[in-house]
Structure 1
Amino acid sequence: MAPANRRDVFEQFVMTVSAVAELTPHMRRITFHAPEFGSYAVTGPDEYFGLLMAEDRELVMPPDDRINVRTSLRNMPEDVRPDLRWYTVRAHRPKAGEIDVDFVVHGDAGPGTRWARRAEVGSTAGFRAGGSAYRPVGDTVLLAADETALPALAAILEAGQRSVHVFVEVPDESFQVPLPGEVRWVFRGEQPPGTAVLAAIQEAAPSSVDYAWACGESGLATGVRRHLTKDRGVDRKAIMFSGYWRVGAARE
């Protein structure tokens, strides 16, 4: 897989919700404030972080070992252990000590979406620094995403670093959001995730691809990668792919 952007220090702290906005019927923007965001720095446009949440009880942060947050969580008593899910830093404003995070909300499918639907100004959550994956090379870049990867995709496009070919699969028109540049939207309907976007890529993607970023449902990410490597001869080390969720499992 293509190399990701790494960080040496994994900050961990408590943050407070300072604003909530409904962007679409399916996407909610939550603004978090913490003094630590003043010195925090992202490693790339699709920066991700660990959101630590506690439902109906006080948030207890895991030991700050700066190495492996999952190990720290496993070692905590179950009755105080927070849930951990990973999200994109949609925007970072160091002077204000704030970040924006866009949540795709879909019922109560998992702890992340449950927390996001109920969050209000004054709610608290934990922040665990992560990293970023987008590290393009060459002149021809292909981006493929579904609704769960829209925040990361939007941040990548706003960075405006290269001419890109963008393909987005969503359930229907109500999931569309404004994105800069030319975007090919396809609608999933009743098809398995990844089917519609793969067909669009097979039809309209450039014959030569220097770098690809494919994120969303697991089948979408792996299907796009398989097509690019087997059918177009793209180097595996030039493809960044990540399954944000999987059909049949709770979305994060």
Structure 2
Amino acid sequence: MSNEDGLLPSVIEVAKVEDITPRMRRVTFAGRGVEVYASDPTRVPNIKLIFPRENGDLDLPVNTGGRRLEWPDPTLKAQVRTYTVRRLDPAASEMDIDFVRHGDEGLASAWAERARPGDRIAAAGGGGIVAPPADWYLIVGDETALPAIGRMLERLPEGARGTAVVEVADEGERQDLRSPADIEIRWVHRDGAPAGTTTHLADAATAVPIPDGELKRFAWVSAESATVLRMRRYLRNEAGFDRRSTLVIGYWRHGMTETGYGRTTDHDRDFTEHDA
């Protein structure tokens, strides 16, 4: 079926590849496929990407005329990964997606490592939850959450305050994060330790002073599973956050694929939290 009416899946083509830090690669997609994807503004901040199989074939699910896709070959779902749309410009039909560079470790990372202008993948869907209006924010994540954090910070309300705690490999992985809100950025470096093997991020996040009073507070946490589970306990049991004032979702679990993590624990979601 044609996607003339903005139906997915949409094949998107690489226009530019740029390393914004040594371990973060930004891929810019452009053209008709992005135009189709951007025709529905509800398809951000997250995007489900379909990557080619090992033989290079880009197989697609079938759209029968609505939002729901049919997957005739169930093995195709193993080619799907979820990412953040870092930038979407509907007028220019351009979209940026940032990939953490892991070399050949993982489906998406291996593709991004070799991505060149003209290469194609597909967009199968999108959506997700954005941070609600608040007076004070606590934002916590590792490099896998950094694209989402950067996008979120740019859209926080002017006059709000808060702290963002971000774990990266080392000082060279810091990015220039900007926000209309008054947000303090605290960088945490692993300095040689593998991702997901330390408590540095949670230690730094639980050390952030939480304001008292009548402020409307909101906490957003996305990182490795052990970190998000610890942060959920801390926010509820020690920091005094109401469940509906938090959104805590695991992006990955050490030693598991995204598909396996999602299948076994649904990314450690708690559906009593903010619009989860």
TM bin, normalised by shorter chain, reads 0.7 to 0.9
Q: Give yes or no for contact 1:61–1:82 (8 Å, CA) kept in 2.
A: no
Instruction: Name the amino acid aligned to 2:234.
Output: H
Deviation at 1:193, TM superposition (A): 4.9
Match of residue 204 from structure 1: 208
Q: Give yes or no for contact 2:17–2:26 (8 Å, CA) kept in 1.
A: yes
Aligned residue-pair number: 239
**CA, structure 1 residues 10+218, in 2 after alignment: closer, same or farther (shift >3 Å)?**
farther
Deviation at 1:68, TM superposition (A): 5.4
Deviation at 1:111, TM superposition (A): 0.3
**CA, structure 1 residues 205+228, in 2 after alignment: closer, same or farther (shift >3 Å)?**
same
2:131 corresponds to 1:135: yes
Deviation at 1:24, TM superposition (A): 1.1
Greater than 4 Å deviation, 4+ residue runs: 65-69, 191-194
Match of residue 85 from structure 2: 89
Q: Distance in 2 between matches of 1:29 and 1:237?
A: 33
Match of residue 25 from structure 2: 28
Q: Distance in 2 between matches of 1:246 and 1:168?
A: 17
Q: Distance in 2 between matches of 1:239 and 1:194?
A: 23
Alignment of 1:148-159 (within 5 A): 148-159=144-155
Q: Runs of 5+ in structure 2 lacking a partner?
A: 1-5, 260-276
22-31 or 195-204, which deviates more: 195-204
Q: Give yes or no for contact 2:34–2:93 (8 Å, CA) kept in 1.
A: yes
Q: Give yes or no for contact 1:193–1:220 (8 Å, CA) kept in 2.
A: no
Q: Give yes or no for contact 2:140–2:222 (8 Å, CA) kept in 1.
A: yes
Match of residue 163 from structure 2: 165
Q: Distance in 2 between matches of 1:11 and 1:138?
A: 34
Q: Distance in 1 between matches of 2:146 and 2:7?
A: 25
Residue of structure 1 aligned with 2:107, choices 100, 107, 111: 111
TM-score by length of 1: 0.84
Q: What do residues 89-135 of structure 1 show as CA deviations (whole Å, max 9, x unaligned)? A: 01011111110111111122210111111111010100122212223
What percentage of residue pairs aligned between the two structures are identical?
Answer: 33
Q: Distance in 2 between matches of 1:249 and 1:43?
A: 30
Alignment of 1:173-188 (within 5 A): 173-180=171-178, 181-188=183-190
Deviation at 1:82, TM superposition (A): 6.5
Deviation at 1:225, TM superposition (A): 1.5
Q: Runs of 5+ in structure 1 lacking a partner?
A: 1-8
Match of residue 14 from structure 2: 17
Q: Distance in 1 between matches of 2:169 and 2:209?
A: 21
Residue of structure 1 aligned with 2:238, choices 231, 236, 245: 231
Q: What do residues 155-178 of structure 1 show as CA deviations (whole Å, max 9, x unaligned)? A: 111124232311111232232211
Q: What do residues 14-57 of structure 1 show as CA deviations (whole Å, max 9, x unaligned)? A: 1111111111110111111242533524449x701011011332
Deviation at 1:251, TM superposition (A): 6.0
Q: Distance in 2 between matches of 1:212 and 1:128?
A: 29
Deviation at 1:76, TM superposition (A): 0.6
Q: Distance in 2 between matches of 1:183 and 1:108?
A: 31
**CA, structure 1 residues 132+62, in 2 after alignment: closer, same or farther (shift >3 Å)?**
same
Q: Distance in 1 between matches of 2:198 and 2:40?
A: 33
Greater relative CO, 1 or 2 (CA 8 Å, sep 6+) = 1
SS in 1 for 2:234: helix
Q: Distance in 2 between matches of 1:15 and 1:246?
A: 28
TM-score by length of 2: 0.77
| RMSD across aligned positions (CA) | 2.5
**CA, structure 1 residues 42+222, in 2 after alignment: closer, same or farther (shift >3 Å)?**
farther
